[in-house]
Amino acid sequence: MDYFLIITVLVTLSAIFGYINVRFLKLPNSIGLMLITILFTLAVFALSFYDATLLEAEKKIINQIDFQKVLLDVMLSFLLFAGALHTNFEQLKVQRWPVLVFATLGIMVSTFLVGTGMYYILQLLGQEVAYIYCLLFGALISPTDPIAVLGILKKAGVPKMLETKIVGESLFNDGVGVVIFLTIYKIADSETGNIEFLPIMELFGMEVIGGISLGLLLGWITYRLMKSIDDYDIEVIITLAAVMAGTAIAQYFHFSAPLAMVTAGLVVGNDTVRASTMSEITESYVDKFWELIDILLNTILFVLIGMEMLVLSFTGHYIVAGLLAIPVVLLCRYTSLLLPINFFSKRLDFVPNTNLIMTWGGLRGGISIALALSLTGEMHRDLFLVITYLVVVFSILVQGLSVGKLVKRLGSAK
C-alpha cells in the first residue's frame, strides 16, 4: 500500500467521522473524532469474528505508519506554528513568567513525581521495572498537549487570562518535555549505565537554546521578507517555507524543532509584526491558511490516535496499571503546579481555582503516544504504551468533555 493511498484513506475517514461529529454528536472535533474512531475500531473488531478483511486492512494501514516519525518529525511543527500564530501575544507577554515556570520547573517536578509513583505502583503489581524507565514514562506523560488543549478550551468558556496560561504552557512544555524525555532516554540507553553530566547538559542546552534561537532567527527572516513585499500568495508560501525549512534545519543540527516553531509562530503572529508586515488581505489569507492546516492535521491526528489501539498488547496487568496511572498523573500535575501558582498569584491576577482547572484542563494527546512508541523492548515499551494510551483516552474523552462544566461549576467561566 503506497503512501498516497494511506493518506487518502486517512483523509477520507477523517472527513466522514468529522461530518458525523458535526452533524450528529456536536462535540469538540478532537473529542468527537477520537470517540468515533475508537467505536469504529471496536466495530471492526466485532465484525472480524465473521469476516476479518476490514480488520486486516486497518492493521495494514496502521503498521505502515511510523506514528512517532509522522507526528514528531512532520505534523508537530505545523501544528505548533499554527497554534503559536493564533495565540494572544499580549496576554502571553503578561503571563510569560508563570508560563515559563509551568513549562520548565513544573514539567521537571511532574516527571519525577509521576516516575516515582508509577515505580511503586508497578512494584505492587509484580512488574519489575527499573526506576529510570518509570522516569521515562513520567517525562512522556507530563507535558500537556497543545493540539488537544487548543481545540477544546475554545469551547470550554475558560477566562482569557487562564486560557493563555494553559495554552502558553502547552505550547512550550511540549518542546521542553521532549527534551527532558530525550535526556532521560540517553541516560537509560547508556550501555555503561554511567551518567556523564557534561554531555547530558550539552544535549539539553543545544536542544533548548538552539531551538529557541533558531525560532527567533526564522521569525525575523520571515518578518523581513514579508515586510519587503505585498503579495498575499507569496507571503503565505513564505510562512509555509519557514516551517518546513526550519524543521529540517532543527533536525539536522539536533535543535528542538517544537521550540523553534513555537518561537517563530509567536514572532510572526504578534500584533506589532502583523501591523507592520501584513496588509489586511494578507493577514486574512495567512490566518485562514494556517487554520485549515491546523484543522486538517488535527483531524487526521485524532483519527490516528483512535486507530492506534490496534497495535496495543492489552493484558490484565497492563490495563490495571493504566487505570491506576490516571489518578497518579492528575495528582502529580496538581502538586507540580502548587508552588508556582501560589508564588505568582500574589503578583498577577489569577482566577479562583486556577490549579484545579489547569490540572483538569491539561490534556494529554498524540505527543505522549508518539514518545511511548519510541521506547525499546528493554524499556517495557508494550507496558508503557498501554498505560499511556489509557491516560490519553481518559484525558481527551473524560477531562475534555467535562472541563467546561468544571469551569462553570467553580464559577470561573467568562
- Tens digit of pLDDT at every position of the chain (414 positions): 578 888 899 999 999 999 999 999 998 888 899 999 999 999 998 998 998 888 888 888 888 888 888 888 889 999 899 989 988 777 788 888 899 999 999 999 999 999 999 999 999 999 999 999 999 999 999 999 876 776 677 666 677 778 888 888 888 888 888 889 988 998 888 755 555 667 777 777 888 899 999 999 999 999 999 999 999 999 999 999 999 999 999 999 989 999 999 999 999 998 888 888 899 999 999 999 998 998 898 889 889 999 988 888 889 999 999 999 999 999 999 999 999 998 888 777 787 888 999 999 889 988 899 899 889 899 999 999 999 999 999 999 999 889 888 888 886 665
Q: Which fold has domain 67-409?
A: Na+/H+ antiporter like fold (1.20.1530)
Distance CA 268, CA 246 (A): 14
- pLDDT the model gives residue 74: 87
- pLDDT the model gives residue 242: 97
- pLDDT the model gives residue 335: 96
Among 302, 269, 264, residue whose Cα is nearest residue 30: 302
Cell numbers linked to 357: 482547572
**Residue 333 neighbours by CB under 8 Å, 6+ apart:** 110, 142, 358, 359, 362
Kindly provide the b/e burial profile for residues 124-137, where b requires at least 16 CB atoms within 10 angstroms of the residue's own CB. eeebebeebbbbbb
From the CB of residue 377, how many other CB atoms can be counted at a distance below 10 Å? 7
Kindly provide the b/e burial profile for residues 344-373, where b requires at least 16 CB atoms within 10 angstroms of the residue's own CB. beeeeebbebbbebbbbbbbbbbbbbbbbb
CB 257 within 8 A of CB 77: yes
Distance CA 286, CA 67 (A): 28
Distance CA 98, CA 106 (A): 10
- pLDDT the model gives residue 226: 95
- pLDDT the model gives residue 123: 96
List where CATH 1.20.1530.20 sits in the chain.
67-409
* pTM for the predicted model, two decimal places: 0.91
- pLDDT the model gives residue 412: 60
